[in-house]
Amino acid sequence: MADSRILPCILTVLWAFSCNAKIGDVANDTGPLPDASVAQADSSAVGIALPYTPSNIAASAMSSGTAPLQLRASDGAVEIDTDQGTITRLADSEDLRPPGVVFASQVQGSGGINLAPLLGIFSASELVIEAGARVTVKGSAGLVFAIAGDVKVDGVVSAVGGLDTPNQAGPGGFAGGDPTTPNGGGLGGGQPGTDGAGGGGAGHVALGGKGGDRGELILGGAAGQPVLSEFLVPLMGGSGGGLGSSDDNPDESGLGGGGGGVVQISALGSIRIGATGGINCGGGGGQGGVRESGGGGAGAGGAILLEAMEIAVFGILAANGGGGGGGANGNDPGASGQTGSLSAVAAPAGKRVGDGAAGGLGGAGGDEEGLPGVDADIANAGTKYAGGGGGSGGRIHLRSVDDGIKVDGIASPKDGVTEGTLVDDD
């Protein structure tokens, strides 16, 4: 039998061939954009000379925005909906997307094995997010900013899994397991446990954590496998964790954590992430077992792609895995794991509570693998319900000219960070 760790890589390659080098359907407020290659768009189609070819999106998106997008400190909490194309100040529901900032929904690929999410693209002449602005991203589509000029991020952008419910995918990510679909979504999805064992944590840049066993014969859910996506083409977020399991009622199992979302910023000028700025695409924590059940596996960290003529990071880029959920304390819920944070610190797992064993830590910093959930020690009258595995860290790809990248801040997980060189159209 072939090594199961090869499967995600094979599926990703098959996906690329199945797309026939075509992005496919694109629609925005000013009419359809031309088709473009999955890997690279042809900038000659827009009639202007671009300094490089953007990843994943049509080249025309780089010049279709004619107004700046500025999110001020006074705006406070802001919500971006990648499905509706709205940018809303939550304090008074004010629409913050000015005329001239163009929104487009774009399909990645067509036919075949197409797991890549829709992209919600905001095109503007420049992007400014001031310190004090807190931007939460929601929706099923991944977030892309296509900027004709410079980008300055001094506030925080959050596109995490588990935002409203534990198994909710981040924008562009994949859902965690639930009673209807117990496997975590995505190529690196964690597998469910059985009969009180923990769910497996999702994989991305590395393995997720295996779900805790319940004794010698009842095994926890298998860990999610690594996903081959170093250059983030196509652009996909984190996979979901596997469902924990109940003795007799799946509806009382711990939900798997949702995978972290995606944020892509493509700028024709420079990108600067200031000391107070950050982008967080953390995976969601696994839910604690609800009643006589194992904890859910955590979601994997998502993906961050930055490409510009110059990139300077003084703040934080984080795509950390979530923490696994703890097993139930008999008829009482176990402790849930936490979402991957804007830091290089591992997301805490759900702690042991009575009969419920602890979950596994999420991948972060220099430890990108999710840790296994703790086994239930039923043989020695210890815990009865196992913990869910932690989610793997995700990926961060920085693409610029030679010597154009400077990272003086934090990029986590460490082994999930890669750098690439822009392709000159000449």
Q: What value does the mean pLDDT take over residues 268-294?
A: 97
Q: What is the pLDDT of residue 381?
A: 61
Question: In this structure, is the dihedral angle defined by the CA atoms of residues 89, 95, 101 and 105, taken in order, positive or negative?
Answer: positive
Burial class (CB in 10 A: 0-12, 13-18, 19+), 357: buried
Residue type, 394: G
Q: Residue 36: is its pLDDT beyond 50? A: no
Instruction: Give the whole-angstrom CA distance, residue 320 versus residue 280.
Output: 8
Residue ranges of the domains in the chain?
Answer: 1-426
Q: How many CB atoms lie within 10 A of CB 86?
A: 16
Instruction: Give the whole-angstrom CA distance, residue 373 versus residue 417.
Output: 26
Instruction: Give the whole-angstrom CA distance, residue 175 versus residue 259.
Output: 6
pLDDT in tens, 352-386: 999 999 999 999 999 999 999 999 987 776 789 99
Q: What is the pLDDT of residue 296?
A: 98
Q: Residue 247: is its pLDDT beyond 90? A: no
How many residues are listed for the chain in this entry? Answer: 426
Q: What are phi and psi of 235, to 5 degrees?
A: -90, 115
Residue type, 226: P
CA 176 to chain centre: 12
Q: Residue 82: is its pLDDT beyond 80? A: yes
Mean pLDDT for all residues in the chain: 89
Residue type, 135: V
Instruction: Give the whole-angstrom CA distance, residue 190 versus residue 237.
Output: 14
Q: What are phi and psi of 145, to 5 degrees?
A: -105, 120
Residue position matching structure tokens 């690196």 = 188
Q: Residue 40: is its pLDDT beyond 70? A: no
Q: Residue 423: is its pLDDT beyond 80? A: no
Share of the chain above pLDDT 70, in %: 86
Q: What is the pLDDT of residue 197?
A: 97
Read off the DSSP letter of residue 199: P
